[in-house]
């Protein structure tokens, strides 16, 4: 069976203060922000730091009832999800569904940077929230 995952696209870290977190990475590692975006549908502001072929994605909520807002209230700052790059999110979802894996998104949706994304529920994924990322826009 062929492997679906091509690379770790990003590791996402939930933070309370985006600018302070950016500054921490800059001072600790010399890491610079390469992209900033507000994604209203997800209720997040993100800052992306490039790490080789991958990114660290710093996330802060734009509203308390968003996924990252609820996570921060419950667990505090820390790793929120791991995102894997795939060629075809829809095909990866079909494979997961056939395996009986619990999905959050039955169909792909729009992510930051014009990517196409979908989330897999942490309950059925060894306690880790997984995001699948396909480069290129979601048409739908």
- Which residues contact ligand MC0 by CB under 6 A? 12, 39, 42, 44, 46, 57, 59, 67-68, 70-71, 80-81, 83, 104, 111-112, 115, 117, 119, 121-123, 127, 129, 131
**Per DSSP, what are the bridge partners of residue 81?**
12
Nearer to ligand MC0, 2 or 46 (CB): 46
Indicate the helix (H) or strand (E) that contains 119: strand 116-120
Instruction: Tell me if 122 sits within 8 A of 47, measured CB to CB.
Output: no
Strands 130-134 and 78-85: parallel
- Closest approach of Cβ 1 to ligand MC0, in Å? 27
Nearer to ligand MC0, 17 or 27 (CB): 17
Burial class (CB in 10 A: 0-12, 13-18, 19+), 131: buried
- Closest approach of Cβ 88 to ligand MC0, in Å? 17
- Closest approach of Cβ 11 to ligand MC0, in Å? 11
């Amino acid at each position: 069976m062929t492997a679906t995952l091509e690379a770790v696209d990003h590791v996402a870290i939930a933070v309370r203060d985006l600018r302070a977190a950016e500054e921490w990475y800059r001072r600790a590692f010399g890491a610079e922000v390469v992209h900033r975006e507000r994604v209203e549908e997800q209720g997040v502001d993100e800052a992306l730091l490039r790490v080789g072929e991958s990114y660290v994605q710093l996330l802060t909520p734009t509203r308390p009832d968003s996924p990252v807002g609820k996570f921060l209230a419950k667990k505090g700052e820390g790793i929120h999800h791991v995102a894997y790059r795939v060629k075809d999110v829809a095909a990866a979802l079909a494979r997961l569904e056939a395996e009986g894996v619990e999905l959050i998104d039955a169909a792909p949706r729009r992510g930051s940077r014009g990517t196409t994304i979908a989330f897999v529920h942490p309950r059925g994924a060894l306690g880790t929230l997984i995001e699948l990322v396909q480069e290129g826009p979601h048409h739908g």
